[in-house]
Amino acid sequence: MAAICPNCHLPEMIAYVVNDDGLHPFPCLECNTGTVRCTPYGHLSGAAPCGTDGCQGSVRDDYQYDPKGRLSRLDRVRCRLCATDRTAALPAGSAPERAVPGPRLPGSAIRSRPHG
């Protein structure tokens, strides 16, 4: 499962796992923002464009924190115009570079010079 980042507001960039111990989000794939901890009783929100064709609304993810500042709830708020909870896909030209890692390790261009 994935959520909207409350920092860069890119859709589906914060992957998270839900199990018996609660919510366990990973850092944002684009800006590396962590959402595991916040101020006690804190509230963060990330919004992204609605995924319905022609709709000008937005979908929001609300992060709520407990008295110890740990993430306790993550709620998706549907679009107010069309009631969907889908976010718009990123245009192909604007996908984050980290979405698909490069095939070579840093510094490999130096090692790949032809011999001889």
Count Cβ neighbours within 10 Å for each residue of 37-59 and write b for 16 or more, e otherwise: ebeeeeebebbbbbbbeebebbb
pLDDT at 1: 78
pLDDT surpasses 70 at 22: yes
Let me know the angle formed at the C-alpha of 35 by 18 and 85, rounded to the nearest 5 degrees.
60
Question: Which pLDDT band holds residue 15 (cuts at 50, 70, 90)?
Answer: very high
pLDDT tens track for 53-95: 999 999 999 999 999 999 999 999 999 999 999 998 766 555 4
Please give the model's pTM, rounded to 2 decimal places: 0.72
Task: Give the rounded distance of the alpha carbon of 37 from its chain centre.
Answer: 16
Choose between 82 and 111: higher pLDDT.
Answer: 82
Classify residue 8 by burial, with Cβ atoms within 10 Å: 0-12, 13-18, 19+: middle
Q: What is the DSSP string of 43-108?
A: EEEEEEEB-STT---EEEEEEEE-TTSBEEEEEEEPPTTT---PBPPPPGGG--GGGS--SS-TTH
Cβ neighbours of 30 (radius 10 Å): 19
| CA dist., res. 5 & res. 29, Å (int) | 9
User: pLDDT exceeding 70 applies to what percent of the chain?
Assistant: 77
Q: What is the mean pLDDT of the chain?
A: 83
